[in-house]
């Protein structure tokens, strides 16, 4: 998934799971449960999230991309361990 300024935050959460700890770096606090956050982010784009939280868009995009890359590595590692018997 390519993350751009027009990507919906909900799409990122749907694709990669809960990356709230990255959002917290920018002052985007956890709101209730993960499922509730997903609902709240349906209309929120990356650009709007950066604007609301006063984070430069390019910095916000880079941090999100890094978080997604780490999540993908973790998922691949977990899958590899499962295939190898843990």
Q: What whole-number distance in Å separates Cα of residue 17 and Cα of residue 5?
A: 19
Is the residue at 50 inside a domain?
A: yes
Q: Whole domain around residue 73: which residue ranges?
A: 9-79
* Residue written as token pair 């959002």: 23
pLDDT by position in tens, the chain (length 86): 889 999 988 788 777 766 766 666 555 565 555 556 666 667 788 898 888 888 899 998 998 888 888 878 887 888 777 666 55
Q: What whole-number distance in Å separates Cα of residue 33 and Cα of residue 74?
A: 22
Structure tokens at 67: 């978080």
Is the residue at 61 inside a domain?
A: yes
Other beta carbons less than 10 A from residue 83's beta carbon: 8
Angle of helix 9-16 relative to helix 57-83, nearest 10 degrees?
20
**What's the pTM value of the predicted model, to 2 decimals?**
0.66
Q: How many domains does the chain have?
A: 1
């Amino acid at each position: 998934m390519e993350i751009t300024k027009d990507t919906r935050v909900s799409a990122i959460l749907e694709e990669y799971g809960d990356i709230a700890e990255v959002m917290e770096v920018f002052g985007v606090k956890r709101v209730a449960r993960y499922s509730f956050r997903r609902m709240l982010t349906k209309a929120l784009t990356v650009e709007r999230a950066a604007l609301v939280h006063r984070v430069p868009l390019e910095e916000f995009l880079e941090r999100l991309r890094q978080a997604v890359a780490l999540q993908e590595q973790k998922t691949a590692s977990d899958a590899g361990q499962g295939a190898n018997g843990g």
